Structure 1
Amino acid sequence: MKDYAVQGLHCANCAKKMEAQLHQLQKGKTIRLNYSTSRIYLSDEVDMKAVKKILMSDNVQVLEDNLIVDEQDTIKSAAHSHNHVPDYTGSKNSVHNIKIVFILNLVFSLAEFIFGILFNSAAILSDAVHDLGDSLSVGLALVFQKISTKEANEQYSFGHRRFSLLGAMITSVILIGGSILIILNSVPLLFDPQPVNSRGMFWLSIVAIGINGYAAWLISKGTSKNEKVLNLHMLEDVLGWVGVLTVSIVLDFTNWFILDPILSLLISGYILSKALPTFLENTSIFLEAVPKGIDIRALEKNIKRIEHVHAVSHFHMWSIDGEENALAITVYVNTKDTGKQEQIKEEIRYLTKDANVTHSTIEIVVDEEYLIK
């Protein structure tokens, strides 16, 4: 029995349909396609080329290079330890974690408004505005993250994963807008600082650090752009409340009430310094820029080195959601041999597998001028 990792499975229904096609090759042989583990199981007699042809029709790639045979003659894949195969099963946990963070943020932001007024603290009120904005953005992120787990359909042929990215962009915009609002409210207090209840600030900051620290730890387990932005929220809140804690201790011994608006400005400036680059990065993904860290020119040169490849054109790479990437390319070859053309496609997919390309469209054009005779 052989056990291979596969890349490009996006839904359980797709896996079932492909497995049904593969069963036509069975004839007493074992063929199983497991969506949850992204693996295919084949008996030794199965025609691998026929299997690949069926899988490639839906842009699913078999990662044969990860094959390792152990002493019991069973097959294992290095993808287990190196995790080259994308994990599409974590989204349900993401939705659950985001839901918990949303409830924590909403309840605590309402408490902040109450205690901010009672303690007469601009820093707390400013953070209450920030946390309420966080709550709204987390709620939106929750909705979009949940939508992103839906399978592909007639309207969204790539699936719904980009909705997670949309949630990240809206979250970034709310962060930026809230920070600007805090700055505008805090600047006048620099010239007219107001007394604050430092003891109340101290105890509230202790509670806040515990709540936001737990939320940051919980959301840090995620890998999507959506979760990374939300994790940034939580970490910023923890750091902000550490600042509030420090200021409350200082104000307990001094009358330096100007520290309160100064802290608000520092928190806002820090948030802007993090949220703006994140927003720009997500915008580039939405504008279908070449994925970060991929040298498309070097990749094109490597493709041209493949035997029988004469030239390439219409070479495009873009990211679907910041995690999965897509590829479209036209390749000019000097052979009419369909077997060699399939081999060329397979080599291109191999070259791009480390770039996490899960959707690929490779068009082969026979260049008559360079045809081997």
Structure 2
Amino acid sequence: MSNPRIHKHTVEGKNLLFSILLNIVITTSQVVGGLLSGSLSLLSDALHNFSDVLSLVISYVAHKLSQRQATLKQTFGLKRAELIAAFVNALTLIVVALILIYEAILRFFNPVTIAPALVIWLSALGIVANGLSVLLLKKDADHNLNMKSAYLHLLTDMMASVAVLVGGLLMKYFQVYWVDNILTLGIAVYLIVVAFDLLKQSTHMLMLFTPNEVNIEEIIEEVHKISGCARLHHIHVWHLNEEELHLEAHLDCSHDMTLSQFNILLHKIEEVLYEKFSINHVNIQPEFKKEDPKDFIVQD
């Protein structure tokens, strides 16, 4: 049974679309500038921005798909599309980071002369454009894993652009060209760190693991306090998406009861689960002296 009290944050798809357009401009500018200047950190930033364009498009499409209504063939609709997008985006971040590490190591053995002026101006452009995109998506990122994946792409881009700007200034005024490679390695390592956390969260949800914030033993304890409940078993708790937390279980009732009596009992259970554990979708199978396993967790 669904609980109508689901507090949804309305994600603004138009902010994502605007960020896509900004990143296309940044990527094009940085590719041209990187080729003209010879800066690997600028090209690496452009590559990262290009991966952002792809990830933002994936996020935007997934956001639109997640809003589709349920059908006979898709009874949950496409609500999990955004989780898949977050998973894919996390993987792309890691792949991009590994490519950057490889290229930076090659440059240590094959150094090149870099024109710092273009590096400085284009990295400044990246800071402004990515900073604007980050501000647009910040609020959505706090409520949606898909938007968080897009936000992290943009945030790391902005930080990368800051690092590239610092490198450009050092190259211009102190001729320290090896700093370009060091900055590229630093950017790549940071990408791996933030992407791994996002990958772990999205995998956790896609695999239907029990959410970290949910303690099944506490759920059992609270439900057993309700008069009429003998034993809750065959329990599953999972995120359908970030806004919908589901519980499915069998309930061995303490006595034989009518359907109308069970409805009253079910309402009490729903109230407890929502108020104490934020579970907003509850599906309980009532039983009385049924011969089946009564373990809390049973592999169905």
- Same structural fold, with TM-score higher than 0.5 when normalized by the shorter chain: yes
Pick from 218, 228, 231: which aligns with 1:298? Answer: 218
Aligned residue for 2:205? Answer: 285
Contact 2:114 2:177 in 1 (8 A): yes
Greater Rg by CA:
1
Aligned residue for 2:179? Answer: 259
Does residue 1:200 correspond to 2:118, yes or no?
yes
Aligned residue for 2:238? Answer: 318
SS at match of 1:158: coil
Aligned residue for 2:68? Answer: 150
Contact 2:42 2:123 in 1 (8 A): no
Contact 1:323 1:356 in 2 (8 A): no
Aligned residue for 1:100? Answer: 18
Does residue 1:116 correspond to 2:34, yes or no?
yes
SS at match of 1:221: helix
Does residue 1:132 correspond to 2:50, yes or no?
yes
> Identity over aligned residues, as a percent?
24
Contact 1:190 1:262 in 2 (8 A): no
Aligned residue for 1:72? Answer: none
Deviations 1:199-236 (A, max 9, x none): 22112122111100000011112121110111111111
Letter in 1 for 2:50: L
SS at match of 1:220: helix
Letter in 1 for 2:2: N
Deviations 1:66-101 (A, max 9, x none): xxxxxxxxxxxxxxxxxxx3216x14x2x2111111
SS at match of 2:264: helix
Structure 2 CA distance for aligned equivalents of residues 111 and 245 of structure 1: 15
Shift of 1:257: 0.6
Does residue 1:184 correspond to 2:102, yes or no?
yes
Shift of 1:321: 1.6
Letter in 1 for 2:160: G
Contact 1:193 1:261 in 2 (8 A): no
SS at match of 2:242: coil
Letter in 2 for 1:343: I
Contact 1:102 1:135 in 2 (8 A): yes
Aligned residue for 1:161? Answer: 79
Aligned residue for 2:134? Answer: 216
Letter in 2 for 1:365: E
Number of aligned positions between the proteins: 287
Deviations 1:108-167 (A, max 9, x none): 112111000111100001111111111112111111111111111112212221111111
Letter in 2 for 1:124: L
Instruction: Give the CA RMSD over aligned residues.
Output: 1.8
Letter in 2 for 1:366: F
Does residue 1:365 correspond to 2:251, yes or no?
no
Shift of 1:186: 0.9
SS at match of 2:231: strand
Structure 1 CA distance for aligned equivalents of residues 226 and 261 of structure 2: 11
SS at match of 1:360: strand
Contact 2:245 2:279 in 1 (8 A): yes
Aligned residue for 1:59? Answer: 2
Q: More helix by proportion, 1 or 2?
A: 2
Structure 1 CA distance for aligned equivalents of residues 68 and 284 of structure 2: 27
Aligned residue for 1:25? Answer: none
Letter in 2 for 1:310: A
Structure 2 CA distance for aligned equivalents of residues 60 and 158 of structure 1: 15
SS at match of 1:196: coil
Structure with larger RCO (C-alpha < 8 A, sep 6+) = 2
Which blocks of at least 5 consecutive residues in structure 1 are unaligned? 1-57, 64-84
What's the TM-score once normalised by structure 1's chain length? 0.73
Moved more, 351-360 or 154-163: 351-360
Aligned residue for 2:295? Answer: none
Q: More strand by proportion, 1 or 2?
A: 1
Aligned residue for 1:346? Answer: 267
Contact 1:285 1:320 in 2 (8 A): yes
Contact 2:3 2:270 in 1 (8 A): no
Shift of 1:368: 8.1
Change (3 A) 1:368 1:288: closer
Does residue 1:249 correspond to 2:169, yes or no?
yes
Which blocks of at least 5 consecutive residues in structure 2 are unaligned? 292-300
Structure 2 CA distance for aligned equivalents of residues 134 and 292 of structure 1: 29
Shift of 1:177: 0.9
